[in-house]
Structure formats: C-alpha cells, structure tokens
Amino acid sequence: MAEPTSYDVIIIGGGPGGYNAAIRAGQLGLKAAVVEKRVTLGGTCLNVGCMPSKALLHASELFAAANTEFAHLGIEVAPKLNLVQMMKQKAESVTALTKGIEFLFKKNKVTWIKGAGRIAGAGKVEVTAEDGQVATLEAKNIVIATGSEPAGLPGVAVDQQRIVDSTGALSLPEVPKSLVVIGAGIIGLELGSVWRRLGAKVTVVEFLDRISPGMDAEVAKTFQRELTKQGMEFKLGAKVTGAATSKKGVSLTVEPVAGGAAETLEADYVLLAIGRRPYTENLGLDTVGITPDKRGFIETDHWRTSAPGVWAIGDVTLGPMLAHKAEEEAVACIETLAGKAGHVNYGIIPSVVYTTPEVAWVGKTEEELKAEGRAYKVGKFPFLANSRAKINHETEGFAKVLADATTDEILGAHLIGPSVSEMIGEYCVAMEFRAASEDVARTCHPHPTRSEALRQAAMGVEGWTMQA
Ligand code: FAD
Ligand code: NAI
C-alpha cells in the first residue's frame, strides 16, 4: 500500500529528538511521519553515540577490572582481549535498540519515510530516497530534529583511518599503541578511557587549562587526578596546529596556548573530539525564511522557529547536546503543537560522564553561583566514608550538594564516584520538587548503599554528617 502524502506532523531526523516526538505524536492521535536518511532509526545516539560508547565503556571497564581488581577479591583470571567479539556484541546491542524504535513506530502508527528530507516551502517536505526518487509530502507541522555532527579543526583532516572522530573511535580495528585525543571534553575522556583500559597509551591535548569545561571545578580536579592514576596523560593549555599522516601513524604539532615552542607528538591514532556543531545541510531552511544563528543553531521560542508551523528540537537547537534534552524537548514540542501545555525545566538537565569513576551533576556549579553573587552552603561527603563503597573497594570521589544559604533550596548536586550516573536522578527529582537539602537529609535511604553518600552530603549542609 502506498504511504499517505499528507500528515499532521512530519519530523525530519530519527534520533532521540525525532523518534520521541513521533511516538508522542502517535500517542496523541496525530498522523505522524519521520524522515530519516540513515538506514536505521535512532540517530547519533543509538547508532554512533550514547549506545555504542556505553557498550565499549562497559566491556572495557570489566576488562580493566579483571586485569587490576579481581585478584584482590580472590578471583584469579588471566583476561585476554578479543576485540572482534567486543565490537560484535556492541553492534548487536545497537541493532537490537534501533529495531526497538522500529517496533515502537509500528505500535504508535508512526510512518518511517526513508530518505533525506528538505523543507520545500510552508507545509511541504521533499524527500529524496536512496535511489534518487523524489516525493513531496504535506504537513500541518514540520519538526526539525536533524541533530549535530563532529566539529572539524583546520590542519587536522579526519580520514577515519588514522585521524578519527567519535564514530571512527568506536570501531578502531586494533588497540592503538598510542592514541592522542584532541579535546578533554566528554567524548575525549569517555573514548580515551575505553582505549586506555584496553591497553593504549593515551595523551589528551586540551586547549583550556582544565579538563571538562562546565563541570564543577573541584570535581574536575579530582576527576583529572583519578584519570591520571589510570595512566592517562594530559597536556593542558595546548593546541594542535597541524597533523601529518602516514601509513603507520600521525605526527601532530602542538603549541602552548600561552605562546612558546611547538612540540611534536607521535601517535598510532588521533581522536578529534573538540565539540559538535548543529547539522542543517540541504535542509531548505531558506524556503521558509529561517536563518540559523552564527554558530549554525536554529533559534526557537518554546520549540517554535521563526517560521509558522515549523518547530525545532534537540542538538540542532541551543542548549546542551544531550539525548535526554532532545527527548524532553520532543515531548514538550509535540504536546504544545497538539494544543497542550509542554514544559521543559532547562535548569534541571543532568550531565553524566560514564568513565571510572563516573561523574554526574545537575544544576549550578560553585563557579556559577559565585559569578551570580548568590549566597550558598555546601555539604560534602567522601565515598571513602561510605560503607558500601568501602566494601566494594570503590572509594574514589565524593558527593557535593549546594543549597541556598537562606531558603536551603537545592541549587546543584555534583557527584564523582561509583555508580553516580544511576544516583543523580535522586537529586533531579528533589530539585524538580524544589526540595530543601534538609528534605534529602531527613529521607531514609537503604543501608548499605552508595546512595547514602547523597543523603550524608545533604546532612553536611547543616553540619550533621554522621556515617563512617
Ligand atoms: P541526532 O541523534 O543526531 O539525530 C538526528 C538524525 O537526523 C540523524 O539520524 C540524521 O541522519 C538525521 N538527519 C539529519 N538531516 C536529515 C535530513 N535532511 N533528512 C533526513 N534525516 C536527517 N548524549 C547523552 O545524553 N548521553 C550519552 O551518553 C551520550 N553519548 C554520546 C556519545 C557520543 C560518541 C556522541 C557523538 C554523542 C553522545 N551523546 C550522548 C549525545 C547524543 O547522541 C545527542 O545529544 C543526541 O543524539 C541528539 O539527538 P537529536 O535527535 O537531536 O539528533
Ligand atoms: P565537548 O564540548 O564536551 O568538549 C570539547 C573539548 O575540546 C573542550 O574541553 C574544549 O575546550 C576542547 N577544545 C576545543 N577546541 C580545541 C582545540 N582546538 N584543541 C584542543 N582542545 C580543544 O565536546 P565533545 O567531547 O566533542 O562532545 C560533544 C558533545 O557530545 C558533548 O558536549 C555532549 O553534549 C555530547 N556527549 C555526551 C556524552 C554523555 O552525555 N555522556 C558522551 C559523549 C558526548
């Protein structure tokens, strides 16, 4: 049966923004279609982002633990890396997840239109299929969810052979003897960790004089110390100004940002991870009068663009480039266009780095509160004093809570330590309900769990931390 050509909403892009928008539209009884040019659904996140990176982080973490921690627990093994199998299980998980989205589309009566979408004037989307056939569809609403792509660096050409971006770094054919990572952001540190754990010598070159911009500075300092203990090397305040590639590897020219003599770094492989930029290539924005901002982002007001009936969500819009931010916007955008009240609390979007230790945070950092001149109190608790962490020999890191000095409302939570990715949600809920730190401090937590550290940190705001 031929697909319909007219829809209540056509979404361009099938990533976390696009697929969640489509599913919510289906649930609300809207006739919805997603145009996706990739051969599978799920966007960057499922295909070449969140999911494959977490698959490799999990497997490499176990490999490293088997090498360095099992013997102490009385488990004697001699682990041997099978990289082909590690990559295979990653690919299988990704396929299962992308197929899962197909299933959800069927369940919610969403049409998946395969091909590249282009806006062709108000209410019109032109789709070019892989075989070159072009179809024009009509929509009452168009949602742009085209995501982002890795940012480039002049003089460092990504060839996906020796100089790779995140996509290439998820599928290297061998463990590099040496890997230079350009950029100490989330991608650089997560994927740098994967290859470090599997045996590569990893050097991270970062432009700023600190790692992980945006992370609370105290946490970032502890984080850098822990990564250094694992053997990762850092060159901060340094910039790469050129790269020469041969069959065997790459020769990088690195200069201090403050000025001074350049040095040469040799590496088997280089990972370029200096950020991502919004993706709007051939999207036909001009046909509806949308001009992206100077960095390429589509500006929105409650997910509405400047063109009537055209909406935008996810990485292609301003704000953190995170899958859960795209998902939140997807639901809110569809509810708004369906005449309901959509809502996103942009102050409570958590961030997580899935390394060892993990880092997770939500709300304001100490640096932000200081810059705002806001009076705040700090409660802090080290995992070294948490019984579960001690028993498990995972004592690195701490939990830190920032609360308003007058009202005690929680303004931020900053965690570095074991399983904190799973625990930050507690503070997200507390903050969504505008809880005081005392609310968390007086909530019974199960013992022995790492989550007690979160409660103890909240108790620390009023100085009555007690667990040893
Ligand atoms: P995308 O997921 O980029 O999806 C956009 C889709 O639109 C793509 O499939 C693209 O093919 C399609 N498209 C673009 N233009 C067209 C067109 N004209 N026609 C048809 N289709 C089109 N975020 C997290 O929250 N947690 C993580 O752990 C995490 N890990 C990451 C790890 C890596 C290595 C990377 C690169 C990113 C990671 N992210 C993570 C970020 C996350 O992937 C993005 O924030 C998220 O995918 C954004 O969703 P989106 O729907 O806006 O765009
Ligand atoms: P990023 O913005 O997190 O970090 C880029 C780093 O590169 C910064 O520290 C920056 O100062 C540095 N840099 C910029 N130019 C440089 C230069 N010329 N030389 C040296 N360093 C330079 O970007 P990244 O790591 O590429 O990740 C992109 C986005 O993907 C993240 O911002 C995040 O939104 C998303 N992501 C999220 C993950 C998660 O949630 N766990 C995992 C991976 C990616």
3-state secondary structure 76-107: CCCCCCCHHHHHHHHHHHHHHHHHHHHHHHHH
H/E element, 359 = strand 358-363
What tokens appear for 399 in the block? 């939990």
CB 351 within 8 A of CB 398: no
Strand partners, 117: 127
**Residue 285 token pair:** 């924005």
Q: What averages of pLDDT result for each successive group of 10 residues across the chain (468 residues)?
A: 84 98 98 98 98 98 97 97 98 98 98 98 97 97 98 97 98 98 98 98 98 97 98 98 94 97 97 98 98 98 98 98 98 98 97 98 98 98 97 97 98 98 98 98 98 98 84
Is 324 designated active site?
no
Alpha-carbon distances of 298 from 307, 314, 315, rounded to whole Å? 11, 10, 9
Pick the atom of ligand 2 nearest to 205's CA: 20
Counting Cα atoms < 13 Å in the Cβ hemisphere of 354 gives 17
Listing DSSP states for 159-199 in one string gives -SSSEE-HHHHTS-SS--SEEEEE--SHHHHHHHHHHHHTT
- The residue assigned the tokens 């102050």 is 347
**Residue 465 neighbours by CB distance under 10 Å:** 19
- Report CA torsion sign: 218, 224, 229, 230: positive
Going by their DSSP bridges, the two strands 398-404 and 276-278 should be labelled as unpaired
Task: Identify the DSSP state of 373.
Answer: T
CA distances for 96 relative to 55, 72, 92, angstroms: 13, 36, 6
Please give the distance, rounded to the nearest whole angstrom, from the Cα atom of residue 24 to the centre of ligand 2.
30
The separation between CA 160 and the C-alpha centre of its own chain, rounded to angstroms, equals: 21
**Closest C-alpha to ligand 2, atom 15:** 274
Q: How far is the CA of 129 from the centre of ligand 1 (A)?
A: 21
CA dihedral 370, 371, 373, 377 (to 10 degrees): -20
Task: Supply the pLDDT for residue 468.
Answer: 52
| Ligand 2 lined by 321 (C-beta under 6 Å) | yes
Distance CA 244, CA 156 (A): 8
Residue-level pLDDT at 2: 65
Q: DSSP character for 364?
A: -
CB of 101 within 6 A of ligand 1: the answer is: no
Any ligand 1 atom below 6 A from CB of 14: yes
Q: How far does the centroid of ligand 2 lie from the alpha carbon of residue 272, in Å?
A: 9
pLDDT value at residue 211: 98
pLDDT score, position 1 = 47
Q: Is 322 in the pocket of ligand 2 (CB under 6 A)?
A: yes
pLDDT at 371: 98
In this structure, what DSSP letter does residue 409 have? B
Alpha helices in 156-299 (DSSP H): 166-169, 186-197, 217-229
Ligand nearest to the CA of 169: 1
Q: Six-digit token pair at 97?
A: 């997840």
**How big is the chain, counted in residues?**
468
Q: Determine the Cα–Cα distance for residues 236 and 272; give it in Å rounded to an integer.
A: 15
Catalytic residue among 302, 343, 393, 447: 447
Q: Please give the distance, rounded to the nearest whole angstrom, from the Cα atom of residue 257 to the centre of ligand 2.
A: 18
Q: 456 vs 119, 368, 440, CA distance in Å?
A: 53, 23, 9
125 neighbors 12 (Cβ within 8 angstroms): yes
Instruction: List Cβ neighbours of 450 (8 Å cut-off, separation of 6 or more).
Output: 383, 386, 388, 389, 394, 417, 418, 419, 420, 423
Atom of ligand 1 nearest to the CA of 330: 51
Residues 6+ positions from 80 with CB-CB distance below 8 Å: none
Residue 362: predicted pLDDT? 98
